[in-house]
Amino acid sequence: MKSLELLVEKIILSSRWLLVVFYMGLVAALAVYALSFVYKFWKVAQNVFTLGEAEMILAMLGLIDAALVASLIVMVMISGYENFVSRFDETEADVSFLGKLDAGSLKIKVASSIVAISSIHLLQIFLNAAQYTDGQLMWYTIIHLTFVVSAVMLGWLERIMAAAKADKNEGKPEAHL
């Protein structure tokens, strides 16, 4: 019976390597998105002298939006791989630019990125407000505010969890060397 338990545990632990398929898929998606960004940039560059100020702002917001989405993909790939599959070999890869991203801080960074992306979309919509009905503007704003409230709530919950963890650790005796 013990050998069956060990086999099940080994299979479950090894199954984390299946996540690599998803992360490699995100790498491919990022490459495709990079090509899309180059195409968008090329279109803006060709029309830079014919675009009006509002159109240029919208074009730049689209490029900023693309950069934020790409950064979000990179953040999820790297931190997800390191948290759930395997640690990066410190001598081979320097991922210190991400800081320490556990599952809780990753959720907060992802939520913050989504709020930033949503903010840019909402700004683009408001710059073209004449093309939308009042009802559409209201719903876009409500959806954005939902993202904002969700991000704030995630941050608040993470803070509560960190405080509870700190309180729990205060009660433990310190290890002496």
Residues 149 and 132 occupy one common structural domain: yes
Tell me which of 60, 83, 100 is where a domain ends.
100
Residues 130 and 152 occupy one common structural domain: yes
Q: What is the mean pLDDT of the chain?
A: 86
Tell me which of 100, 124, 142 is where a domain ends.
100
Residues 17 and 93 occupy one common structural domain: yes
Residue 24 CA to its chain's centroid (Å): 16
Domain residues for 70? 12-100
Number of compact structural domains in the chain: 2
Residues 17 and 74 occupy one common structural domain: yes
Residues 44 and 109 occupy one common structural domain: no
Q: What is the pLDDT of residue 86?
A: 85
Q: What is the pLDDT of residue 109?
A: 82
Residue 174 lies in a domain: no
Residue 158 lies in a domain: yes
Q: Taking a C-beta distance cutoff of 8 angstroms, is the pair 101, 109 a contact?
A: yes
Instruction: Reply yes or no on whether the pLDDT at 99 is more than 70.
Output: no
Tell me which of 78, 100, 122 is where a domain ends.
100
Q: Give the dihedral sign, CA 37/41/42/44.
A: positive
Largest CA distance in the chain: 75
Q: What is the pLDDT of residue 47?
A: 86
Q: What is the pLDDT of residue 172?
A: 62
- Cα distances (Å, whole numbers) of residue 158 to 92, 97, 106, 151: 31, 21, 11, 11
Q: What is the pLDDT of residue 167?
A: 80
- Of the chain, the percentage scoring pLDDT greater than 90 comes to 41
